[in-house]
Structure formats: C-alpha cells, structure tokens
Amino acid sequence: MLKVTFTPAEFEALARTDLSQTTCVVFDILRATSTMVTALANGAERIRPVATIQEALEQKAGHPEALLCGERLGRRITAEQTKGTDFDLGNSPREYTAEIVTGKSLITTTTNGTRALRACLGAQEVLVSSFLNLQATIDQLRNNHPKQLVLVCGGTHEEAAFEDALAAGAIADAVWDLFTERTTEDSAQISRSLWQAYRDSLNDSIQHALNARRLLAVPELAADVDCCLQMNTIDQVVRLDPQGWIR
C-alpha cells in the first residue's frame, strides 16, 4: 500500500492506526523537517520532537543540557509564551550551524511538523525527509522496499501544503514501480501527478504557496525558502527511533 496524507486532520487517525508493519516518511518542507535534517547534518547528536510547548519544557527538565527549539507563528518561542523561558533557537535551518549544534541534544516543538512525527511514533520505521535529503530517503526506501508506505505531509495551518504534497509526489514517483495499481491509493497518484507537473519549476511554483508567502513576507525568515528548496545537498537518512529521538 502506498498512500499520502495531506492535512493535519489526518494525524489523529494515523496515531490510532496500527502502523507496526508500516514505514512512514514525514515532510514539513517549510520548515520543520528541513531544519531537523540540517541540524543533524551539522552535527547535532539527536532531536526530540514534541507536540506542545509544555511538553518541550517538561523534556528540558529531564535533559537540562538540551537546547530548546521551535516556533509558534513562525517565530522563536519566547518567555511570554512559556511563563519565563526563552527558547534557544527558532525553526530556521540557518540558525542550526555546526558551531551551535555540534554534539547537542535538541528538543523541538513546531506548529505541525513535530505533531506529524509524534503521530507516526508506533510505525515500523519513521523517516524524516525534506528536499535536502530526498535522494538518501529514496535510496533507503528502494533498498528496504516496504510493503506499506505512508507519506505524511505536515501541511499549513490545518490545510494541505503545496510544497509537502510535491515532496511526497517526488517519493511516490521514485518508488512507483515497487507497488501495483491495486496497492496504490489515489492520494499517491495525486501527489505524483503534482510532482510530474511542477518538478521542473519547483522554486517558481512553491513561491506562490501559502507557507512560502508567509516566510517571504518576514525579512529575517525570507531566505529560509530558498534554503529549504535546495535539492539533495545532504546525503543522510534521518530516522525517528522508537524512543522518540530523531538521529
């Protein structure tokens, strides 16, 4: 079975599904999974994605050495939102330099991306993907040939996100021959068709997506869009382990 989930409304159903025989690939291109992949490539030891600010603070109490990371409304979380604790980093991949993250544990909460990851926690394998490490993800899937593959899009607000659907389509296209028509859901065909239509004009088409427009409108975040649209700059398979750490 090959399918794609497009919206956050599907996270809850996913969390209730028996995923023990399923591989999930999670995308939040702008920007959560792109940032996580960048952080690990730049030497972060591990990343704990959590759904809420409260959970992030609780995790920090158990891991005082960890950096607190993430965003709400695209911005770093501040003391006003936590009753006293300023987070160390926001959700821009450009903040996660080797200088700042090498050897560090990170605890992160973002609007949709970390919720998507938490929903997949019971899966046989959870891969964390982005355009940055797309080919590494594809190679891993082709080697492992999962019988059940769910491509999970983070979305924008509570809606589908164009850039996530495109990335899911790129994966669907690359593993299409591993599945039969009977085991391929329409959601996979939809995203694959989108990828085939826009693969040659990726940057131009994504500039018009809501998430990109939101980031481009904020001068200090605008460069994140191009940064997250780089293709295959990181040759690393990234996984969420059963203990809830991304490595």
Residues engaged in binding ligand MLT (CB under 6 A)? 28, 31-32, 71, 74, 91, 110-113, 154
> CB of residue 152 vs ligand MLT: minimum separation in angstroms?
12
> CB of residue 97 vs ligand MLT: minimum separation in angstroms?
17
Considering beta carbons, is residue 76 or 192 the nearer one to ligand MLT? Answer: 76
Considering beta carbons, is residue 163 or 173 the nearer one to ligand MLT? Answer: 163
> CB of residue 228 vs ligand MLT: minimum separation in angstroms?
9
| Strand-by-strand arrangement of the 2-5 sheet | 2-5, 149-153, 23-27, 125-129, 239-240
φ, ψ of residue 186 to 5 degrees: the values are -60, -35
**6 closest CA partner among 118, 115, 164:** 164
Asked if residue 115 has a cis previous peptide bond (ω within 30° of 0), the answer is: no
**Residues contacting 100, CB < 8 A, separation 6+:** 67, 89
Considering beta carbons, is residue 111 or 187 the nearer one to ligand MLT? Answer: 111
Question: Do 107 and 3 contact (CB within 8 A), yes or no?
Answer: no
DSSP state of 200: G
Considering beta carbons, is residue 70 or 146 the nearer one to ligand MLT? Answer: 70
> CB of residue 31 vs ligand MLT: minimum separation in angstroms?
4
CA 45, CA 22: separation in Å to the nearest integer? 26
Q: What is the DSSP string of 68-98?
A: EEEEETTEE--HHHHTS---SB-S-GGG--H
Considering beta carbons, is residue 8 or 146 the nearer one to ligand MLT? Answer: 8
> CB of residue 12 vs ligand MLT: minimum separation in angstroms?
16
> Could you tell me the two tokens for 57?
């603070």
> CB of residue 36 vs ligand MLT: minimum separation in angstroms?
10
Considering beta carbons, is residue 38 or 110 the nearer one to ligand MLT? Answer: 110
> CB of residue 90 vs ligand MLT: minimum separation in angstroms?
8
Residue environment code for 9-41, b if the CB has 16+ CB neighbours within 10 A, otherwise e: ebbeebeeeebeebbbbbbbbbbbbbbbbbbbb
